[in-house]
Amino acid sequence: AQTVTQSQPEMSVQEAETVTLSCTYDTSENNYYLFWYKQPPSRQMILVIRQEAYKQQNATENRFSVNFQKAAKSFSLKISDSQLGDTAMYFCAFMKHDAGTYKYIFGTGTRLKVLA
């Protein structure tokens, strides 16, 4: 069975600094997708960034980038130039698609606080 582990329940970072959130997963699959979702306080969860396992190149979205290490089963999120609006709960997620069935596994989340 697949598992997703986020070992940092809480983190803080000074505004404008860089922070890295860690995520490891366990799977025997070769083709899958990995995601980071952001859930701001009292607001809807939104997708931050997505990585297809078959792509070696790390995904980037503006200030957000990932370090995807397939062999190590590691998928960390780096936030550069942190902003107060980045304060949120961040969830790492694994998804496998197989014959119409979508299997999503979420980590337990990392609560990030950006300090002014």
Partner 1 sequence: DVKVTQSSRYLVKRTGEKVFLECVQDMDHENMFWYRQDPGLGLRLIYFSYDVKMKEKGDIPEGYSVSREKKERFSLILESASTNQTSMYLCASSFQGRVSGEQYFGPGTRLTVT
Which residue, 68 or 91, has its beta carbon nearer to partner 1?
91
Q: Which tokens hold the place of 115?
A: 């300090």
Scanning residues 75 to 94, which ones bind partner 1 (CB under 8 A)? 91, 93
How many residues line the site for partner 1 (CB under 8 A)?
A: 24
Rounded distance, CA 76 to CA 72, Å?
A: 11
The conformation of residue 31, written as its DSSP 8-state character, comes to S
Shortest distance, CB of residue 39 to partner 1, whole angstroms? 8
DSSP for 50-75 reads EEETT--SPPEETTEEEEEETTTTEE
- Name the 3-class secondary structure at 34: strand
- Does 64 engage in binding with partner 1 (CB under 8 A)? no
Taking the complex as a whole, how short is the minimal distance between the CB of residue 80 and partner 1, in angstroms? 23
Sites of contact with partner 1 (CB under 8 A): 4, 6, 9, 33, 35, 37, 43-47, 50, 91, 93, 95, 97, 100-102, 104, 106-109
